[in-house]
């Protein structure tokens, strides 16, 4: 359940931000709203008494007020909120309007804990404020990003503004009521900084060939089964400095925008068209390719998939599409249509990360998959049969087999886990115990050496 309020704060330290903060991409320098906010901060810094800090107070859902309310309802509500802020923080505390239907606030140099309690109280009450016309819905929510100032004379308005923007973003992503830069829990901030860098760089990484395909073996537990027959295609992003980043650093954030469609289409084309000759040369090798919820909801997905399969001449029965459960499918009917089309082409359908989210059983019913891939977070404790995760995994396997569905366990990292899963009747396994991911091109090149090897797990 999402919270109705969120706030975050940074401390501005004597004229400079922490070095990691400097790497967070700022807003466009030419933005009139941004420049107005920076200038307002500059002017307030020059006044006496100096401010204790600044706050970016963002109003959410104001566009819905425009739709649901009378003409001008959003403007009237916004003015009321401005007045409430001034009443709470003092006259002149609202410096100017800001991005995303919000305000830049100057905070008095007073008790910081008291100020944060006041802001939290306002954010908590915000959804329940209404106009004088109760028949019209005008509820909004909000979040606040705070940056404290220790030395007003040496403070840079641009950095203060960017810190407040970053604080708001961190509050939204982490779904936390408060985050203090340099405090006891800086992870939400540092994660946001890295994600911001990678997301902003993602389209360029596609264009410049800095996305790398990896392959990790999926191993059958059937007696006498041969190795090297099935692989999941994974993704790695290389930064400009040469550092490599696993998909967990950027893919989940990319799923919140059209960027994930760009990435998914690139992966599908790379595997089914650019590597088609290598696939055709290994006719018994199957590959699993991840497809995000947003991509699967697109009306052009099925046609694009069919065109790629034809262009590469790849047998569709060798392709499994793994539907990731990290983001909600926004158009279930379109997704079902795309899945039916992919299945009619011959592709298999798998539900990835099964058991991790709330929608897995709904998708199980809606998509009737050929395979369930149990989320790795449930696997680490299966060797202890009394553990709740072990019972959940056993029940998933039993249910899937009753429905005639194959089950794969991910993140199998030890022999004890492997043996426990075999005892549960798992069909296939995947993880470091069986093999780490490697460049997909090397997987293709080395597969010939596996053809004559039969080694059951």
In this structure, the answer to whether residues 372 and 431 fall within a common structural domain is yes
In this structure, the answer to whether residues 208 and 160 fall within a common structural domain is no
Distance CA 397, CA 391 (A): 10
Residue 93 forms part of a structural domain: yes
Instruction: Write down which residue in 151, 185, 219 finishes a domain.
Output: 185
Task: Reply yes or no on whether the pLDDT at 29 is more than 50.
Answer: no
Better-predicted residue by pLDDT, 264 or 136: 264
Tens digits of residue pLDDT in 161-178:
988 888 888 888 777 656
Instruction: Write down which residue in 150, 185, 220 finishes a domain.
Output: 185
Task: Reply yes or no on whether the pLDDT at 95 is more than 70.
Answer: yes
Residue 211 forms part of a structural domain: yes
Distance CA 171, CA 210 (A): 30
Confidence (pLDDT) at 374: 95
* CA neighbor of 36 nearest in space, from 83, 124, 103: 103
* Number of separate domains in the chain: 2
Confidence (pLDDT) at 30: 43
In this structure, the answer to whether residues 148 and 239 fall within a common structural domain is no
Confidence (pLDDT) at 242: 85
Tens digits of residue pLDDT in 395-411:
999 999 999 999 999 99
> Hey, what are 10's tokens?
């940074």
In this structure, the answer to whether residues 123 and 40 fall within a common structural domain is yes
Task: Reply yes or no on whether the pLDDT at 100 is more than 80.
Answer: no
pTM passes above 0.75 = yes
In this structure, the answer to whether residues 347 and 386 fall within a common structural domain is yes
Domain holding 429: CATH number?
A: 3.20.20.450
Confidence (pLDDT) at 134: 52
- Mean pLDDT within 408-418: 96
Tens digits of residue pLDDT in 420-436:
999 999 999 999 999 99
Task: Reply yes or no on whether the pLDDT at 371 is more than 90.
Answer: yes
Tens digits of residue pLDDT in 310-323:
999 999 999 999 99
Under the banding of pLDDT at 50, 70 and 90, the label for residue 179 is low
Instruction: Write down which residue in 135, 152, 185 finishes a domain.
Output: 185
Confidence (pLDDT) at 5: 39
Which 3 state secondary structure label does DSSP give 347?
Answer: coil
Under the banding of pLDDT at 50, 70 and 90, the label for residue 186 is low
* CA neighbor of 349 nearest in space, from 358, 338, 361: 338
The number of angstroms, rounded, from the C-alpha of 153 to the middle of its chain's C-alpha atoms is 39
Domain holding 102: CATH number?
A: 3.30.70.270
Residue 338 forms part of a structural domain: yes
Return mean pLDDT, the chain.
Answer: 85
Residue 381 forms part of a structural domain: yes
Range of lowest pLDDT (124-138, 246-260, 339-353)? 124-138
Of the chain, the percentage scoring pLDDT greater than 70 comes to 84
Identify the domain containing residue 33 by its residue range: 5-185
In this structure, the answer to whether residues 294 and 228 fall within a common structural domain is yes
In this structure, the answer to whether residues 177 and 229 fall within a common structural domain is no
Cα distances (Å, whole numbers) of residue 173 to 128, 157, 303, 308, 310:
23, 25, 34, 35, 40
In this structure, the answer to whether residues 180 and 206 fall within a common structural domain is no
Q: What does residue 306 show for φ and ψ, rounded to 5 degrees? A: -60, -40
In this structure, the answer to whether residues 385 and 250 fall within a common structural domain is yes
Strand partners, 53: 107, 148
């Amino acid at each position: 359940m999402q919270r109705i309020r969120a706030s975050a704060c940074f401390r501005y330290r004597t004229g400079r931000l922490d070095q990691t903060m400097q790497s967070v991409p700022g807003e466009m320098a030419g933005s009139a709203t941004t420049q107005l906010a920076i200038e307002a901060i500059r002017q307030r810094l020059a006044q006496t008494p100096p401010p204790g800090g600044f706050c970016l107070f963002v109003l959410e859902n104001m566009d819905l007020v425009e739709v649901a309310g009378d003409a001008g309802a959003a403007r009237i509500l916004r003015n009321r909120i401005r007045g409430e802020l001034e009443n709470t923080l003092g006259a002149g505390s609202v410096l100017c309007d800001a991005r995303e239907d919000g305000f830049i606030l100057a905070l008095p140099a007073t008790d910081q804990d008291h100020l944060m309690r006041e802001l939290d109280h306002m954010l908590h009450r915000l959804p329940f404020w209404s106009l004088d016309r109760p028949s019209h819905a005008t509820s909004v929510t909000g979040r606040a990003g705070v940056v404290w100032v220790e030395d007003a004379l040496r403070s840079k308005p641009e950095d203060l503004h960017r810190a407040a923007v970053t604080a708001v973003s961190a509050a939204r992503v982490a779904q936390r009521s408060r985050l203090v830069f340099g405090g006891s829990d800086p992870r939400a901030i540092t994660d946001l900084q890295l994600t911001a860098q990678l997301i902003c760089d993602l389209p360029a990484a596609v264009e410049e060939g800095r996305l790398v395909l990896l392959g990790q073996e999926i191993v059958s537990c059937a007696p006498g089964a041969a190795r090297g027959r099935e692989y999941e295609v994974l993704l790695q992003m290389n930064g400009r400095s040469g550092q490599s980043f696993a998909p967990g650093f950027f893919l989940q954030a990319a799923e919140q925008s059209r960027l994930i469609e760009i990435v998914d289409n690139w992966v599908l084309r790379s595997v089914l068209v650019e590597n088609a000759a290598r696939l055709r040369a290994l006719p018994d090798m199957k590959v699993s390719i991840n497809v995000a919820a947003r991509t699967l909801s697109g009306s052009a997905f099925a046609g694009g998939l069919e065109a790629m399969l034809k262009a590469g001449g790849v047998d569709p029965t060798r392709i499994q599409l793994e539907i990731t459960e990290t983001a909600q499918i926004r158009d279930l009917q379109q997704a079902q249509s795309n899945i039916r089309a992919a299945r009619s082409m011959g592709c298999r359908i798998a539900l990835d990360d099964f058991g991790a989210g709330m929608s897995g059983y709904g998708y199980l019913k809606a998509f009737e998959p050929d395979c369930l891939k149990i989320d790795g977070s449930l696997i680490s404790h299966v060797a202890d049969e009394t553990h709740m995760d072990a019972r959940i995994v056993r029940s998933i396997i039993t249910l899937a087999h009753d429905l005639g569905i194959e089950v794969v366990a991910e993140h199998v990292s030890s022999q004890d886990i492997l043996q426990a899963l075999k005892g549960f009747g798992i069909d296939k396994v995947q993880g470091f115990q069986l093999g780490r991911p490697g460049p997909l091109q090397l997987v293709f090149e080395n597969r010939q050496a596996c053809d004559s090897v039969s080694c059951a797990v």
